[in-house]
């Protein structure tokens, strides 16, 4: 772990941002019998993995191995390659047919929400603020660990998908001010299982919340303003998954209480009746997490804290102007295809 800790510093991160194209490819994708899998195998990406210990590989556009970690030496080796090796292959990459696509795209006519997640801390007066490494007891007196984990305390972003039928069902056909309508339970459950999960959102340790672990997931919309052009609605709700909070068991490290999370839901939606689309879709979830985080080996993670501690989410409407707006939920197409993300999926 020490090698990974010392590697991830501001200097290295700047080097990567300025000179490299960083990519993390799911293992299953490289193994698929598809044009996408074949493309990755030609570039030898199927043999190069990023791991929790920090292992990685640097490749040229033509697939030549340049080194294990981004560095000045790797850049020098890249610049010494022939011009053809520094450029993408000359052959054109064909447009895939629908049946050839392996990584799912956002649902046709659907809605994409950016999901921002961040560790928070609470002042003595209850005021929330961004968490710092000094808020985590397991990092105390460990300067290398603090330098490394300070990067994980920065906000993380992923994406939530709604189908066309789902978002259209949120719009009342005959809106009346003060009207309150329940949101489809499948949407609230999806948010609880796939998105409002602090451990997966920030550390990638831990998977999807099991359906049986969701104890409460409800949302409702209230019409606040209604005109010929716009409908303004407020979203309210509550989500609780995992264990019930027990202060005597919420200890660290390796405490006996399983992880749990609960949060109120507050949202503000604006629908343009003339353009027939949402122009505002903002949600905040200022919740609390408690209990064991647990790494891949079941041991406490450095970000585990005793008691219940604030962890916040914020969702906003994606514009579609960035390629990242098409990234599947969780950054992995299997979340959508094989895990019950949509009611009609496995």
Residue-level pLDDT at 148 = 81
Condensed to tens digits (0 to 9), the pLDDT of residues 331-345 reads: 777 778 778 899 875
Mean pLDDT of 164-187: 96
Q: Taking residues 156-177, what's their average pLDDT?
A: 95
Per-residue confidence (pLDDT) for residue 2, from 0 to 100: 42
Cα separation, 145 vs 127, in Å, equals: 27
Predicted confidence band of residue 86 (pLDDT cuts 50, 70, 90) = confident
Mean pLDDT of 286-291: 97
pLDDT the model gives residue 305: 95
Q: Which pair of structure tokens corresponds to residue 122? A: 């609470």
Inter-CA distances, 64 with 12, 45, 48, 56, 333, Å: 22, 10, 12, 14, 27
% of the chain with per-residue pLDDT over 90: 53
- Give mean pLDDT, residues 256-277: 96
Give residue 152's pLDDT: 83
- For residues 332 and 128, which has the higher predicted lDDT (pLDDT)? 128
Average pLDDT (172-199) is 95
| Kind and range of the H or E run holding 313 | strand 308-317
- pLDDT(14) > 60: yes
Tens digits of residue pLDDT in 193-236: 999 999 888 876 667 899 999 999 999 999 999 999 999 999 99
Q: Which residue has better confidence, 247 or 97? A: 247
pLDDT at 185 over 70: yes
Sequence-distant (6+) residues with CB within 8 A of 204 are none
Residue 218 three-state SS: strand
Tokens at 177, concatenated = 């001010």
pLDDT of residue 3: 47
For all residues of the chain together, what is the average pLDDT?
Answer: 87
Do residues 96 and 42 make contact, with C-beta atoms less than 8 angstroms apart? no
pLDDT per residue as tens digits for the range 27-82: 788 888 888 888 778 777 766 655 555 567 788 877 778 888 888 999 999 999 88
């Amino acid at each position: 772990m020490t090698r990974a800790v010392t590697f991830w510093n501001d200097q290295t991160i700047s080097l990567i941002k300025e000179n490299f194209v960083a990519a993390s490819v799911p293992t299953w994708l490289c193994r698929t019998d598809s044009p996408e899998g074949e493309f990755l195998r030609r570039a030898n990406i199927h043999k190069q993995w990023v791991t929790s210990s920090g292992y990685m590989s640097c490749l040229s556009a033509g697939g030549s191995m340049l080194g294990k970690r981004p560095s000045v030496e790797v850049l020098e080796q890249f610049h010494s390659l022939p011009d053809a090796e520094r450029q993408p292959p000359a052959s054109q990459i064909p447009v895939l047919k629908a049946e050839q696509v392996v990584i799912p795209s956002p649902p046709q006519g659907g809605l994409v929400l950016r999901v921002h997640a961040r560790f928070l801390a609470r002042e003595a007066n209850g005021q929330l603020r961004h968490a710092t490494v000094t808020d985590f007891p397991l990092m105390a007196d460990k300067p290398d660990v603090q330098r490394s984990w300070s990067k994980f305390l920065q906000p993380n972003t992923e994406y939530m998908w709604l189908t066309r039928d789902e978002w259209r069902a949120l719009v009342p056909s005959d809106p009346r001010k003060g009207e309150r309508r329940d949101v489809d339970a499948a949407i609230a459950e999806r948010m609880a299982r796939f998105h409002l999960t602090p451990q997966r959102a920030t550390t990638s340790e831990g998977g999807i919340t099991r359906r049986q672990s969701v104890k409460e997931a409800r949302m409702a919309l209230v019409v606040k303003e209604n005109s010929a052009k716009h409908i303004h609605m407020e979203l309210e709700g509550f989500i609780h998954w995992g264990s019930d909070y027990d202060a005597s068991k919420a200890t660290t490290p390796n405490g006996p209480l399983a992880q749990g999370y609960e949060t109120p839901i507050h949202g503000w939606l604006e629908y343009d009746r003339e353009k027939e689309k949402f122009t505002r879709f903002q949600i905040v979830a200022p919740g609390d997490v408690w209990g064991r985080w647990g790494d891949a080996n079941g041991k406490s993670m450095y970000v585990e804290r005793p008691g219940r501690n604030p962890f916040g989410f914020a969702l906003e409407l994606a514009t579609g102007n960035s390629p990242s707006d098409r990234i599947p939920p969780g950054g992995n197409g299997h979340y959508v295809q094989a895990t019950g993300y949509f009611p009609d999926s496995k």
